[in-house]
Amino acid sequence: EIQKRIAELRETLSYHAKRYYVDDDPEISDYEYDAMFARLKKLESEYPQLASLTSMTHRVGGAVAERFEKVRHRETMGSLTDVFSTEEVNDFCGKVKNAYPQADFVTEAKIDGLSVSLTYENGVFVLGATRGDGEYGEDVTANLKTVRNIPLKLSTPNPPELLVVRGEVYMPKAVFASLNKQREEEGLSVFANPRNAAAGSLRQLDSRVCASRKLDIFVFNLQFSSDDIPETHRE
């Protein structure tokens, strides 16, 4: 009965978290959500044998690392190239067309943050790493679990056995402004820009600090999948 209740709370909380953090269309009040969250946390504390890595309670952080372990990326994470003129854009497009005459282009906003890879095994988030030097990054899984719109478990019915995606972790401007105001009031130095704030937050050894920074993520690339991958980037 307890196991069933915990499972129901996790499922309900995951649904409402998505409505709030991803869809921006909440159905219940913050008070109702917090009350459910408190009930789940209490049950998991009383019955630790029913703990789960995909539980919403991992969102608040709590793990304190002595240092970040180095991990090797399954696929190299290259850096993006800057262009500063129409001529450079045309040059890039020309090179692509020469190599792939049938190529189409997809444009997306460039969000300035910290590039990370997310690894899922059978739909469960198991590893998150910084880009590092492109070949090796730092294991920041505990901190990435506090980013609310990263699913701890994929909702697709038959997820790939192994899936690796790349995204950009960033701090929304409103959160950045609020954080700097708070630091000013506390007599602390302020962050120069949202990118520095995001990078500094994600590399906190105490994941509770990272959780308090309200980071976000924009996933833009499929690095690897054990299943068939879409034929186009848009898909």
How many CB atoms are located within 10 Å of the residue 74 CB? 14
Catalytic, 173? Answer: no
Catalytic member of 42, 70, 97, 110: 110
Residues classed as catalytic: 110
